[in-house]
Amino acid sequence: MENKTEFALHFEAKGSGTPLLLIHGFPLSSRMWAGQMEALSSQAQVLAPDLPGFGDSPLSDTVYTVERYAEDCAAVLDALDLLEPVAVGGLSMGGYIALAFARLFPERVGALLLLSTRAGADSAESKANRDKAITGVKEHGASAVTEAMLPKLLAPANYAGQPAMAAEARELMRTASPDGIVAALSAMRDRPDATGQLGNLGVPTLIVHGKDDQLIPSSEAEAMAAAIRGSQLHLIAQAGHLPNLEQPEEFNHILSKFLTEIS
């Protein structure tokens, strides 16, 4: 099923059962979840939006923040009349947005999936790197960011042994528009520290992280697990920043088991 309206996010939807919102990472799109839509749709209604300026969603002239992206994701649930709590998951930037969603709409979150992400805000150095990346994209286009990210998305061993996977990662970044990238970089740079929120989430929380993540170290996942009471932590071997792509069977099994537990 597909949906496209002029002012709303484009999203992919498949399956029925527990509603599961999956928010993609930067600078990717809903297509990164293709394997999960296939594997989980027998037990969940999987919903995967394209954030503005990525995939098939247009960018408006709003100033984007992680909260604004969360509001756009809530509008996807509204469009489907999903007013009861749902499972909200996000990978990396998608995780920052999932945490913003939980801040803004706690009554709409039945469970949380924090995938390859962190709770903290950007350091001063990371903020300066975001600004450099924004300048690079304005001067040279999207490839200034996508080519720099490509060698860091997967575990080093997967670049060596799985060239098709690296090609797929590059393909997933193809729809990112320069303006969408700039908006997302600013939103990530300015996101608040969500660490204080972790003790009060009050919903089943699943944390999954690649052991060889080159972009966000797995110690960030361990820190979140220590702060979120009753959370489940899974560290996946031979996986980098995209464990859903790098170790799909193990990743899907973990999510499937979690969905069974919460439904």
92 binds ligand MLT (CB under 6 A): yes
3-class DSSP state for residue 94?
A: helix
233 binds ligand MLT (CB under 6 A): no
77 binds ligand MLT (CB under 6 A): no
Q: Which is nearer to ligand MLT, 4 or 174 (CB)?
A: 174
Shortest separation between residue 215's beta carbon and ligand MLT, angstroms: 5
DSSP assignment letter at 198: G
Amino acid residing at 42: S
How far apart, in whole angstroms, are the C-alpha atoms of residue 67 and residue 98? 9
Per rule CB under 6 A, count of chain residues that contact ligand MLT: 7
Choose among 150, 216, 144: nearest CA to 181: 144
How far apart, in whole angstroms, are the C-alpha atoms of residue 190 and residue 133? 14
243 binds ligand MLT (CB under 6 A): no
Q: Which is nearer to ligand MLT, 15 or 25 (CB)?
A: 25
Site for ligand MLT in 24-53 (CB under 6 A): 25-26
- The residue from 21, 87, 188, 225 that contacts ligand MLT (CB under 6 A) is 188
Choose among 88, 93, 91, 61: nearest CA to 73: 88
HSE-CB at 133 with a 13 A cutoff on CA atoms is 27
Site for ligand MLT in 207-226 (CB under 6 A): 215
93 binds ligand MLT (CB under 6 A): yes
How far apart, in whole angstroms, are the C-alpha atoms of residue 211 and residue 174? 26
Site for ligand MLT, rule CB under 6 A: 25-26, 92-93, 188, 215, 241
